[in-house]
């Protein structure tokens, strides 16, 4: 027994510990989770259950004790609760009675409310009926207005009313029957209006085609009267000017009332066109009517262009041309007044097509005519047609070209003769300054051609600034003007001066200028001859005003206008361009000759170890040649051209030297070779600066001088001779001292440059320190250029 008791004591002690802990947790209202988990983990759940049952029994005992102590209070609470239930039943009965009384009172009020709602519904129906009647009354009133306006022909008002019905009333018509009727009638009314105005327009088409000939004849008659009036006015003007030379004539400027009248033109009615066009626009058919108008008028025009072959053209040409004029006068009025009905392109298309047919037919008839008076009669009427149509803004160039066809043939032959004569003059010219030893020769070659502003004969012998081809060409051109004016005096041209000027322009551009260009581009002329040709062109360009003045005098312009022709010749600008071509040819020729001298650069020893004391041979040759060019060109060329030629040559020399240094012919470059280039440049710069001032070019105040043309090679030479060559990579210094140099060119030349000679004792030279500094600077520059590139 004792042994057994000792064995169980540990279990019992564990159960007691669980029980104690459980009681403590329950008393403190703590979570029992840890104890439960511990009991199950330790394998003693039975002990846990046993202790929980014990605690439950103890709690039941406590509850019974508590109930025993508070038994009387429970009894009182139950009694109070039963009293509350009785009061609740009494309150429920009272509420039920009140509800019954409320329902009895409200029943009568609900009946009256139903009657009121019925009255409201009836009132609403009456209002809707009134609104419906009002809308229907408005619509029917508008419909009556449409019927009345249609009867009176007020179609535009009808369309406005229909538009108002469609936009504001049609969708709001409450009566379906009335709405359907209105919807059906609106398109019918629009169709009726469209047909009505279309019929009126078709009648107008018939009327205007018959009336067009009278319109054209009246306008052409007016043009003839205007021409006669202008001729009388010019005659009076010339007569008055002649009288003013001998003294004032009080009747010279008298106002002649006989010739003051209103311009006679036939009026024609375009109301049907405006009416039909506006109606179709209102119907949304503007494009349709525009196409209809254009197609019908085009068909009428095609009918008008069909010329009858049964009647001789001489008898029918006036009616035919008057019909065409009348047609396009009407179209011009429609274009200006019926905005949008016709476009400029449509009228231009019809006019161009018609005028093409007219000119073609005129060419055929002119070819068939064998009588001069017939020819002149048709030309006169056609010129009147051209004057009439030009007044209305139509292009009549092709008509005038047909009229001038015979004249063109004549003048083509005249121009051909002038071309042969001018070619002969150029062929005989030696392109040397003309020396005049006799007064008769001076008057014939200079004074007669007005090549010098001084009328007095200068001291002889006179060395002219031009060669013999200039007075020869001027005589040919003056003869051309005289022949041309003589022919035009019997022609149809009213203002012969403009025609003469046009043909003169053509002669100067196509004959004189082309001949000069052939000389310039011949390639066999010397530099002195090219200089003389450039000077000749400048004189011929100035002579253009003299040619115009001669033409104005022959055309009979008033004396007060002889000193200021109406406008200059286009040929002046063309000759100016040819003069520039001569300058460019002169530059090309000079540069070509300079290139021959620059070939001597290849004979220079670019790796020499000897310091040069004199300039290279090529530079001496270049300076001699440039001096010859300047002395020759200075006497003939204007200063601007002289500057252009010399500056171009100097720039070419600079570019040539740099090109040689960049080429493969120069493998290495020594400091002494660069010193030689520096000596050459100094001579060339001294020459450039001297000639820039002695020739007077400095007075032009150009932004650059001759010396500036050598800036690139000068900056390169300064860089190679500098002890601080690496400063080239400094942006500020480069912009100030080396702005004209290119990185890539500098890099290539620096790679070839060797500061010290490759000799055994080169490092023992007295210039060792300077060369070392320069070499280090160049090495730094080379590295930076490589990094930059």
Q: What is the pTM of this model?
A: 0.46
pLDDT tens string 141-194: 778 777 777 777 777 777 777 777 777 766 667 667 777 777 777 787 778 878
Judge whether 597 and 621 are in contact, CB under 8 Å.
yes
For the chain, state the CA radius of gyration.
58
Q: Has residue 735 got a pLDDT over 80?
A: yes
Q: Has residue 490 got a pLDDT over 60?
A: no
Average pLDDT for 80-85: 82
- Angle 159-161-165 from CA coordinates, rounded to 5°: 115
Neighbours of 234 (CB within 10 A): 14
Q: What share of the chain is helix, strand, coil (3-state, %, to 5)?
A: 80, 0, 20
pLDDT tens string 397-450: 888 788 777 677 657 767 888 888 888 888 888 777 777 767 776 767 676 666
Closest CA to 367 of 405, 398, 397: 405
Closest CA to 751 of 657, 669, 654: 669
Q: Please report which confidence band the pLDDT of residue 15 belongs to, taking 50, 70 and 90 as the band edges.
A: low
Strand pairing partners for 463? 435
Q: Please report which confidence band the pLDDT of residue 7 belongs to, taking 50, 70 and 90 as the band edges.
A: very low
Distance, CA of 213 to CA of 304 (rounded, Å): 10
Judge whether 198 and 218 are in contact, CB under 8 Å.
no
Distance, CA of 542 to CA of 452 (rounded, Å): 10
| H helical segments located in 305-371 | 313-337, 344-368
- Angle 662-782-761 from CA coordinates, rounded to 5°: 90
**Is residue 785 within a helix (H) or strand (E), and if so which, with residue range?**
helix 768-788
- Specify the range with the lowest mean pLDDT, choosing from 8-12, 26-30, 103-107, 582-586: 8-12
């Amino acid at each position: 027994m004792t042994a057994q008791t000792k064995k169980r004591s540990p279990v019992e002690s564990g159960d007691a510990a669980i029980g104690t802990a459980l009681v403590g947790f329950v008393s403190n209202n703590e979570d029992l989770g840890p104890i439960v988990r511990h009991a199950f983990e330790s394998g003693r759940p039975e002990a846990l259950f046993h202790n929980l049952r014990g605690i439950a029994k103890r709690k039941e005992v406590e509850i019974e004790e508590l109930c025993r102590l508070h038994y009387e209070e429970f009894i009182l609470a139950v009694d109070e609760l039963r009293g509350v239930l009785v009061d609740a039943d009494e309150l429920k009965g009272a509420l039920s009675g009140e509800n019954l009384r409320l329902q009895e009172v409200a029943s009568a009020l609900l009946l009256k409310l139903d009657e009121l709602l019925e009255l409201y519904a009836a009132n609403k129906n009456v209002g809707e009926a009134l609104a419906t009647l009002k809308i229907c009354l408005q619509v029917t009133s508008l419909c009556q207005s449409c019927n009345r306006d249609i009867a009176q022909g007020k179609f535009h008002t009808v369309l406005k009313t229909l538009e108002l019905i469609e936009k504001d009333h049609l969708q709001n018509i409450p009566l379906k029957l009335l709405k359907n009727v209105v919807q059906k009638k609106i398109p019918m009314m629009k169709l009726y209006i469209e047909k009505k105005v279309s019929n009126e327009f078709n009648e107008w088409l018939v009327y205007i085609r018959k009336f067009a000939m009278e319109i054209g004849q009246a306008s052409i008659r007016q043009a003839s009267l205007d021409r006669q009036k202008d001729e009388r006015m010019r005659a009076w003007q010339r007569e008055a000017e002649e009288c003013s030379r001998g003294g004032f004539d009080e009747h010279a400027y008298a106002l002649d009332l006989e010739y003051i009248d209103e311009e006679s033109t036939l009026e024609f009615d375009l109301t049907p066109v405006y009416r039909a066009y506006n109606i179709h626009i209102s119907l949304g058919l503007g494009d349709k009517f525009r196409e209809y108008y254009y197609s019908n008028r085009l068909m009428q025009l095609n009918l008008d262009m069909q010329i009858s072959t049964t009647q001789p053209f001489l008898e029918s040409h006036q009616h035919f041309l008057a019909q065409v004029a009348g047609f396009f006068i009407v179209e011009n009025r429609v274009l200006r007044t019926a905005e949008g009905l016709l476009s400029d392109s449509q009228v231009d298309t019809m006019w161009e097509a018609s005028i093409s047919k007219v000119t073609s037919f005129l060419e055929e008839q002119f070819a068939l005519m064998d009588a001069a008076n017939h020819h002149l009669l048709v030309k006169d009427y056609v010129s009147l047609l051209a004057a009439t149509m030009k007044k209305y803004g139509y292009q009549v160039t092709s008509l005038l070209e047909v009229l001038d066809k015979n004249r063109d043939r004549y003048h083509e032959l005249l121009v051909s003769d002038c071309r042969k004569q001018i070619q002969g003059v150029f062929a005989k010219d030696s392109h040397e300054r003309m020396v005049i030893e006799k007064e008769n020769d001076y008057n014939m070659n200079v004074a007669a051609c007005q090549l010098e502003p001084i009328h007095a004969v200068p001291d002889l012998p006179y060395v002219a600034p031009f060669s013999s081809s200039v007075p020869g060409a001027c005589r040919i051109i003056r003869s051309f003007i005289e022949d041309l004016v003589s022919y035009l005096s019997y022609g149809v041209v009213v203002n012969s001066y403009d025609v003469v000027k046009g043909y003169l322009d053509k002669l100067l551009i196509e004959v004189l200028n082309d001949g000069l260009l052939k000389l310039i581009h011949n390639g066999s002329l010397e530099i002195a001859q090219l200089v003389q040709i450039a000077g000749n062109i400048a004189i011929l360009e100035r002579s253009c005003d003299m040619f115009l003045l001669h033409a104005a005098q022959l055309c009979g312009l008033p004396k007060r206008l002889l000193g200021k022709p109406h406008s200059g010749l286009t040929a002046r600008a063309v000759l100016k361009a040819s003069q520039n071509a001569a300058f460019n040819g002169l530059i090309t020729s000079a540069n070509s000759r300079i290139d021959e001298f620059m070939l001597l650069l290849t004979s220079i020893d670019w790796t020499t170890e000897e310091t040069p004391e004199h300039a290279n041979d090529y530079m001496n040759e270049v300076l001699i040649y440039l001096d010859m060019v300047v002395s020759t060109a200075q006497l003939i060329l204007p200063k601007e051209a002289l500057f252009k030629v010399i500056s171009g040559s100097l720039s070419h020399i600079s570019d040539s030297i740099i090109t040689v240094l960049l080429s493969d012919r120069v493998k290495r470059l020594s400091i002494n070779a660069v010193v030689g280039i520096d000596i050459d440049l100094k001579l060339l710069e001294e020459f450039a600066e001297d000639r820039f001032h002695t020739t007077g070019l400095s007075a032009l105040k150009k932004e650059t001088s001759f010396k500036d043309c050598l800036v690139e090679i000068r900056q390169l030479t300064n860089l190679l001779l500098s002890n601080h060559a690496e400063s080239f990579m400094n942006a500020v210094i480069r912009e100030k001292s080396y702005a004209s140099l290119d990185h890539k060119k500098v890099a290539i030349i620096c790679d070839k440059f060797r500061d010290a000679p490759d000799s055994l004792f080169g490092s023992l030279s007295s210039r060792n320190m300077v060369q070392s500094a320069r070499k280090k600077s160049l090495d730094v520059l080379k590295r930076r250029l490589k990094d930059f590139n």
